[in-house]
Amino acid sequence: MTAVETTQTRSNGISYQELLDVDSRPAPDVLRWVSPMPPGPDFVPVERYTSAEFHRLEVEKLWKRVWQMACREEDVPEVGDHLTYDIAGISVLIVRTAPDTIQAFRNICLHRGRLLKEKSGRDDELRCAFHGFAWNLDGSLKHVPCKWDFPQVDETWRLPDVRTGFWGGFVFINLDLDCAPLEEHLGDLTAHFERWPLERRYKQAHVAKILDCNWKVAQEAFMEAYHVVATHPQLLPGIGDANSQYDVFGNFCRAITPNATPSPHLQWSPTEQEMLDAMFDRNLDDPVMVEVPSGDTARRVAGDLRRRAMVDVLGPEAADRLTDAELCDSFYYTVFPNMHPWGAYNRIVYRFRPNGNRHDQCIMECMFLSPYDESQPKPPAAPIHWLGMDDDWTDAWELGLLARVFNQDVFNLPKVQDGLESGAIDTVTFANYQETKPRHFHQLLEEWLAR
């Protein structure tokens, strides 16, 4: 591992903090926090992505010990609702055991080891389909068929516990019963989301797909804007890709990419209208959707438009407080190891994890967390929409414009895995600043694997 000094060099163009200065409203504190990562790992061994042995190390040292997001609270709204969360061949059962209690257990029957549940559902007991051992929702033993034949089984038998923690309307689990509390792991994350409370959202969409690459190859493709110039060139007139800001804060980090501002890669200066069109993904033969009045800017027009749209859900006062930045820009956080909640009202949350014990396949998920009219009951959570391995992301119509961008992103990923598996290089290389987030991830991963 070689450390390289982080330099002060940067792209041409306006910095994110300078862009905030000309916003129509004062920037909230959370957007003024600047916390660059000091020099750190910039070469990472290829075996982290290609080795089954390294995967087993991650299972033992990471997945069996780290807090990980399992589901949303609204995924199990009623007593008896349960679902499974699977990580690297380990299955966890999450159960709403009382109106205000959610518990988690290892998803296994203590008789002869069958998985208790294969899918989500609602039951008043947890009964095994093999011989009929049944547990109460709280994990205590309820019933043993032919109990006379099991003198060794008594009422102390209960499903093995899994630790739970709650943040932002998410249920987190930890397989290590001696782990530090979730709050300690998350650090100051709550302060970052104070203006955008995710617990006051509902899961409007949830799409999942298996990808042919290591889980870290996939998630690292969604951590930076450095790839936009080559992977999403259509966005350049309306995205300040290389003017993004990258910050690290303990176990989480973030990227902020401004929109409705031009890329410093462009050799020409787009008009404000061209910036807005690129941001709204307008095709050349489409009519202009929104006109930028002369003397106005794309950021203000986009901000006003989206602010008006937020009045219905947030009310006029809260909507009016939202800055142009909050309504235009992309704030993509990463909570170690694999959760990616977006700030403000972008609605996106990603999760990446290995597919079973395959080091060369992963599950990518995208959820949309949307605000709703809180004078009404919370709408039901969308069930997972699994895309087949050969399905196109645009088959998930609920992702809207994002689906086409995903197609561009995931097109690269099996080819990255193939290149890495070829053995032609020993390390991958990360940029000092624009690849801050993968650098930060690998620094934390190294710490976890060394424990």
AA letter at 212: D
d(CA 299, CA 111): 62
Interaction partner, residue 128 (Fe ion, ligand FES, none; CB < 5-8 Å by kind): ligand FES
Which of the stretches 45-53, 123-131, 345-353, 409-417 binds Fe ion when contact is defined by CB under 5 A? 409-417
Which of the stretches 119-127, 155-163, 408-416, 441-449 binds Fe ion when contact is defined by CB under 5 A? 408-416
What SS3 class is residue 243? helix
If binding means CB under 6 A, how many residues of this protein chain bind ligand FES? 9
Q: Give all strands of the β-sheet with 201-211 in edge-to-edge order.
A: 245-249, 252-257, 330-335, 339-341, 348-355, 358-371, 201-211, 385-387
d(CA 266, CA 342): 27
Could you identify the residue written with the tokens 């509390």? 181
CA distances from 174 to 68, 182, 184 (A): 7, 9, 13
Task: Give 143 or 308: the residue with its C-beta nearer to ligand FES.
Answer: 143
Question: What are the phi and psi torsion angles at 255 (to 5°)?
Answer: -120, 145
Q: For 179-299, where are the E strands, in sequence order?
A: 201-211, 245-249, 252-257
The least CB distance from residue 101 to ligand FES, in Å, is 25
> Is residue 199 near Fe ion by the rule CB under 5 A?
no
The least CB distance from residue 111 to ligand FES, in Å, is 4
What SS3 class is residue 187? coil
Task: Give 36 or 145: the residue with its C-beta nearer to ligand FES.
Answer: 145
211: buried, middle or exposed (CB in 10 Å: 19+, 13-18, 0-12)? Answer: buried
Task: Give 38 or 151: the residue with its C-beta nearer to ligand FES.
Answer: 151
Number of Cβ within 10 Å of residue 450's Cβ equals: 7
If binding means CB under 5 A, how many residues of this protein chain bind Fe ion? 1
18 membership: H or E segment, kind and range:
helix 16-21
Residues 113-142 that bind ligand FES (CB under 6 A): 114, 128, 130-133
Tokens of 28: 């909230």
Residues 17-56 that bind ligand FES (CB under 6 A): none
Which of the stretches 240-248, 351-359, 385-393, 401-409 binds Fe ion when contact is defined by CB under 5 A? 401-409
Residues 96-135 that bind Fe ion (CB under 5 A): none
Which of the stretches 74-82, 263-271, 312-320, 402-410 binds Fe ion when contact is defined by CB under 5 A? 402-410
> Is residue 112 near ligand FES by the rule CB under 6 A?
yes
d(CA 369, CA 144): 42
The least CB distance from residue 183 to Fe ion, in Å, is 32
Task: Give 111 or 158: the residue with its C-beta nearer to ligand FES.
Answer: 111
Which of the stretches 85-93, 111-119, 345-353, 438-446 binds ligand FES when contact is defined by CB under 6 A? 111-119
The least CB distance from residue 60 to ligand FES, in Å, is 26
The least CB distance from residue 116 to ligand FES, in Å, is 8
The least CB distance from residue 416 to Fe ion, in Å, is 13
Task: Give 159 or 314: the residue with its C-beta nearer to ligand FES.
Answer: 159
447 membership: H or E segment, kind and range:
helix 436-450
H helices of 254-363, in order, are 272-279, 298-314, 316-321, 324-328
Closest-CA residue to 444 (of 52, 48, 34, 30): 48
Task: Give 10 or 147: the residue with its C-beta nearer to ligand FES.
Answer: 147
Of all residues in the shown chain, the one whose CB is closest to Fe ion is 409
Q: Is 423 left (phi over 0), alpha (psi -120 to 50) or beta?
A: left
Task: Give 398 or 409: the residue with its C-beta nearer to Fe ion.
Answer: 409
Task: Give 157 or 386: the residue with its C-beta nearer to ligand FES.
Answer: 157
> Is residue 147 near ligand FES by the rule CB under 6 A?
no
Interaction partner, residue 409 (Fe ion, ligand FES, none; CB < 5-8 Å by kind): Fe ion
AA letter at 168: G
> Is residue 163 near ligand FES by the rule CB under 6 A?
no
Tokens of 216: 């870290």
> Is residue 109 near ligand FES by the rule CB under 6 A?
yes
Cis peptide before 337 (omega within 30 of 0): yes
> Is residue 409 near Fe ion by the rule CB under 5 A?
yes
Binding site for Fe ion (CB under 5 A): 409
Binding site for ligand FES (CB under 6 A): 109, 111-112, 114, 128, 130-133
